[in-house]
A and B are shown apart, each in its own frame.
Chain A
């Protein structure tokens, strides 16, 4: 455990909880054993108890991978703390493992450290299959060698007292164990069970509560330690969602008429969530025949004066590219949510990456300026949809909102939004169309124009993807195309004029500025806080707007000795392969910032398919400081 305020009793004194500032807990199982459900319930209980919480799902690529396989590890990590928790943290403190093989899946991901407590299902020790017995025995030995603290527990057997099929019920038993280990209020857990199984009836609820209580009893009798992570002092009016639910709620809060989609991981769960509730909020979900039709349908609805969005992931974004270009060219308002995953091609469908920045910014042929924003937190997944809708309409443009797999499946509490009517107002001015007004009567300064909508008398025009004049007539005159391009670009510049400089985390000047975007904010800021705590002059800044970019970056970068981005996408080593930096391919934001600011922006960017941990970033920062000569190289490595 990460020691916070310690209690004298330590971990050994039975049933006297050791007080911790935070804890990282994992439940790891084969797919289909309910680890995620148990973990989410535990997280909700913690959040309801007033703790800061962040969850990350551990998802294999297949629905039912072979049992007891390393790559089949399925489960969840819950980081809970006495303060707000913004990321998944470093290595786990306590892990419940349903079998020993899936734990290797986590070891491969460097999820454990020396001293991590492993509560391991022991039934494999007596499995009828000799091979399984041997695998189990050698794994336990290996875990000890790795410095893990292994407790072999007969959880399966204990569950038999409450259910004939422990594979289905063990998760609630584990929830009970965790409730005892972390001294949670059992009533909160019972409420969770009631809500999860509400549709299945009293009997199912009853047996799961019995499992929960059985788990608590089992932990009390078999473990000699327990912990307490005290709640935050100020309790606010909070909600807990994952990022995709937040997107779904944002869609409703923005008064969206239509969500048009095609199934794709990890975006689809946003529409799964919406499908149950959207109609009550006056909206419709269209499941299209493909990604192209999904955006075409949304564009059709938007053209007809309805607010529309499409939600997708990388491969879908690629397919939608031509239509995004049309929306830019013909100035159709549209919100496009891209829940990023690993790419290119099918890539890493269930894993996190920030690799779609270039695709979002530049994918269309020709010059296709549009608005691109990136949500940094789950809360921003909600609010950014509302902002995006308003920007799309005000600037008559498609707006791409980037989120990622980490936000999509992570859960954390955030202040309950207070929706207002203005968020949902009808999209366009429906007053009669002024006689003689062109469908693209561009304002020379801002490129903005009023949009006619079918049904509006006198506004009849033909929207076209061809280069066109302000009348939407096909441009045969070469100057007309130049003018159209300029007007579309001016809109983006006009939006840039309205943005404010991003806030710096830390001091306004120093040795190193770390620049991030998207879901890495929590890990970056935690890492920056750690090195600042050690006396280093490091700050960070997080960008929400990627097109247009927020103002003041060039000047800001000049106040730091070095600037580097930290990203989850691919980059060559900065010195290049074979020592030739000329050919080094840079991280996406770094490349973009270099072009926009002419600043020599360094980068750290990798594609592990999992979130960056604060510890990882801390080591990167220290290494950079060492390279700069700000701290001695040896000292930096030693600290890392």
Chain B
């Protein structure tokens, strides 16, 4: 409190972090890949929020976008294909003090890691989960992903993908205890930043699907929406994603959407005529698993020994 502490300048050494403090070397993604823009947005949020680099952990699975942690100068965990979420939840479980960012792709999250996706949404642990959805497996060179559109010719389906794509946004909105779902598009850095910032501010698991093109294999997806901004539906609400108007003024097609209304959110997410961007749903009051899993982290060794001794006593003869 002002006036109570006169020597504050002696023991509070200011640590001010610039963007460079979050930059972990040159990103090796292809030129033109949307991952670059997302990385920049996250680094900017870290800078703007002055996150302690040592208190920040980026967790990922396997795939192009899962190289994300390597390009941050925070702690990082680049693990197994599909398994980013169990690791991230484990990190958070007994260390709720850590800020966690998860990078996962459409194959990583919605295919090989689908079980963890469902359950991580339900655990609702405080972290930002970024789904880099470019509709294709890039790192393994052009295979059909769960979000690939029908007719798209890949190395695994040369005559075109057969099945209708999975809708990760709608799926996530159907999971019990879902607490935050937003969408954005990689070609609008202003909206990406605003969406991820809103996600960061949310107390719970914030699931953000980022629509992306892969310059190598799916440069044409979302081409129509890029060319014709009226195919984007901008969701607006004071509690939603509030982006700088300079970045969103091209979007004339807008919808006032209350992010507290899950049924409307599911309807909006189901639309196939337009790409809704912004905050679909947020509920800050959902239970968070770390509130239970971190109970007991401060139990002292003396208390542990006492509890153990009591237990051994129960088995004594």
Using a CB–CB cutoff of 8 Å, the interface residues on chain A facing chain B are 44, 47-48, 237-241, 245, 249, 252-253, 255, 257-258, 260, 277, 279-284, 286, 288-290, 292-294, 296-306, 308, 322-323, 326, 413, 416-417, 419, 421, 424-425, 452, 454-466, 474
Contact check: which of B58, B91, B310, B315 meets A300 at CB < 8 Å?
Answer: B91
Interface presence of B118 (CB below 8 A): yes
Chain A interface mostly = mixed
- Asked whether B296 is an interface residue with its Cβ less than 8 Å from the other chain, the reply is yes
B7 within 8 A of A: no
Q: Complex formed: what's the CA distance from A91 to B79 in Å?
A: 52
- Known contacts A284-B296, A461-B75, A463-B77; decide if A308 and B90 are in contact (CB<8 Å): yes
Do B78 and A465 touch across chains, with their CB atoms under 8 A apart?
A: yes
Name the CB-closest residue of A to B315.
A239
- Contact A303 B77, beta carbon cutoff 8 Å: yes
Q: In chain A, what residue has the closest Cβ to B88?
A: A300
Question: Quick check: A323 and B93 within 8 Å, CB to CB?
Answer: no
Closest to B302 in A: A421
Residues of A within 8 A of B315 (CB): 239-241, 245, 249
Is B317's CB under 8 angstroms from A240's CB?
yes
A323 to B303, CA, bound (A): 33
Shortest A387–chain B CB gap in Å is: 17
Instruction: Tell whether A293 pairs with B115 under 8 Å between CB atoms, given A237-B316, A306-B94, A462-B69.
Output: yes
Expressed in whole angstroms, the minimum distance between the Cβ of A393 and any Cβ of chain B is 16
User: A322 contacts which chain B residues (CB < 8 A)?
Assistant: 80
B70 touches A296 (CB 8 A): no
Chain A residue contacts of B24, Cβ below 8 A: 462
Contact flags B25-54 to A (C-beta < 8 A → 1, else 0): 000000000000000000000000000111
| Chain A residues positioned under 8 Å from B97 (CB to CB) | 455
Interchain CA distance A452-B54 in the complex, whole Å: 10
Assembled-state Cα–Cα distance A297/B55 (Å) = 19
Q: B116, A289: Cβ atoms under 8 Å? A: yes
CB of B80 within 8 A of CB of A465, answer: yes
A456 to B95, CA, bound (A): 13
- Residue on B nearest A237 in the bound complex, by CB: B316
Ranked nearest first, the 5 interchain pairs of A and B with the lowest CB-CB distance are A300-B90, A282-B299, A296-B86, A462-B76, A297-B90
Can you list 17 A-B contacts with CB-CB less than 8 angstroms, sorted by A residue number?
A: A44-B317, A237-B316, A257-B297, A258-B90, A281-B311, A293-B85, A296-B83, A297-B90, A299-B90, A300-B59, A301-B91, A304-B57, A455-B54, A460-B73, A463-B78, A465-B62, A466-B78
Known A-B contacts A279-B295, A461-B76; A253 and B308 likewise in contact (beta carbons under 8 Å): yes
In the bound complex, CA of A497 to CA of B305 (Å): 32
A425 to chain B: closest residue by CB:
B301
Contact A284 B93 (CB under 8 A): yes
How far is it, in angstroms, between the C-alpha of A239 and the C-alpha of B310 when the chains are bound?
A: 12
Say whether B89 contacts A300, CB under 8 Å: yes
> CA of A194 to CA of B304 in the docked complex: distance in angstroms?
28
Task: Check B153 for interface membership: any CB of A closer than 8 A.
Answer: no
For the complex formed, measure the closest distance between the CB of A552 and the CB atoms of chain B, giving whole angstroms.
35
Q: Which residues of A contact B54 (CB under 8 A)?
A: 454-460
Complex CA gap A174/B293 in Å reads 44
Which residues from chain B contact A462 at a C-beta distance below 8 Å? Answer: 24, 58, 69-70, 72, 75-78
Is B190 close to A, CB under 8 A?
no
In the assembled complex, which residues on chain A have CB atoms less than 8 Å from the CB atom of B59? 300
Q: Which of B91-150 contact A (CB under 8 A)?
A: 91-95, 97-98, 115-116, 118-119
With A293-B86, A463-B76 as contacts: A424 and B304 at CB distance below 8 Å: yes
What residues of chain A lie closer than 8 Å to B183, measured between beta carbons? none
Q: Does B87 contact A (CB under 8 A)?
A: yes
Query: Which residue of A260, A300, A454, A465 has the most chain B CB atoms within 10 A of its CB atom?
Result: A300
Which residues does chain A contribute within 8 Å of B73, judged by CB atoms?
Answer: 460
**In the complex, which range does the number of interface residues on chain B fall in?**
35 or more
Given contacts A249-B312, A303-B77, 11 further A-B contacts (CB under 8 A): A239-B312, A240-B317, A258-B90, A282-B303, A289-B118, A293-B116, A296-B83, A297-B87, A300-B91, A457-B54, A463-B78
Give the one of B73, B83, B87 with max A CB within 10 A: B87
Task: Note all chain B residues with C-beta closer than 8 A to A419.
Answer: 305, 308-309, 312
Closest-by-CB residue of A relative to B71 is A462
Q: Which residue of A lies closest to B62 (CB)?
A: A465
Instruction: Point out residues on B near A: beta carbons under 8 Å.
Output: 24, 52-55, 57-59, 62, 69-70, 72-80, 83, 85-95, 97-98, 115-116, 118-119, 292-299, 301, 303-305, 307-312, 315-317
Chain A residue nearest to B22 (CB atoms) is: A460
| Cβ contacts under 8 Å, B77 to chain A | 300, 303, 462-463
B73 nearest in chain A by CB position: A460
Are A413 and B305 touching (Cβ within 8 A)? no
Who on chain A is nearest to B87 by CB? A300
Contact of A424 among B70, B91, B118, B305 (CB under 8 A): B305
Which of B70, B98, B118, B298 interacts with A454 by CB under 8 Å? B98
- For B75, what are the chain A residues with a Cβ–Cβ distance below 8 Å? 452, 454, 459-462
A284 and B311 contacting across the interface, CB-CB below 8 Å: no
**Are A293 and B119 in touch, CB under 8 angstroms?**
yes
Residues of B with C-beta under 8 A to A245: 315
Rounded to whole angstroms, the CA-CA distance of A572 and B294 in the bound complex is 50
Task: Report if A282-B304 is in contact (Cβ < 8 Å); known contacts: A239-B317, A304-B98.
Answer: yes
Chain A residues within 8 Å of B90, by CB: 258, 260, 286, 296-304, 308
B87 A299 Cβ-Cβ under 8 A: yes
Q: Are B83 and A455 in contact (CB under 8 A)?
A: no
On whether the beta carbons of B293 and A303 are closer than 8 Å, the reply is: no
Contact of A464 with B78 in the complex, beta carbons under 8 Å:
yes
Q: Are A239 and B308 in contact (CB under 8 A)?
A: no
- Using Cβ atoms and an 8 Å threshold, which residues of chain B touch A258? 90, 93-94, 293
Shortest distance between the CB of B84 and any CB in chain A (Å): 9
CA–CA, A282 and B287, complex, Å? 21
CB nearest to B309 among chain A residues = A419
- A241: which B residues are within 8 A, CB to CB? 315
A298's closest neighbor in chain B, by CB? B90
Which of A284, A301, A304 has its CB near the most chain B CB atoms (within 10 A)? A304
What distance in Å separates the Cβ of A246 from its nearest Cβ neighbour in chain B? Answer: 9
Give the docked Cα–Cα distance between A462 and B68 (Å): 10
Nearest A residue to B300 via CB reads: A282
Q: How far is the CB of A144 from chain B (nearest CB, A)?
A: 39
* Chain B residues, Cβ within 8 Å of A298: 90
B-side contacts of A282, CB under 8 Å: 296-299, 303-304, 307
B293 to A455, Cβ gap below 8 A? no
B176 → chain A, closest Cβ, in Å? Answer: 13
A463 to chain B, nearest CB (A): 5
A47 to B316, CA, bound (A): 10
Interchain nearest-CB distance for A250 vs B (Å): 10
Contact indicator A249/B95 (Cβ below 8 Å):
no
| Contact (Cβ within 8 A) A296 B98 | no
Cα of A119 to Cα of B201 in the assembled complex, Å: 71
Chain B nearest CB, measured from A389 CB (Å):
13
Q: For residue B70, which residues in chain A have a CB less than 8 angstroms away from its CB? A: 462, 464, 474
Q: Is the pair A454, B57 in contact by a Cβ cutoff of 8 Å?
A: yes
Chain B proximity of A450: nearest CB distance (Å): 15
The interface residues of chain B lying within 8 Å CB-to-CB of A306 are: 93-95
Bound CA span A258–B86, Å: 14
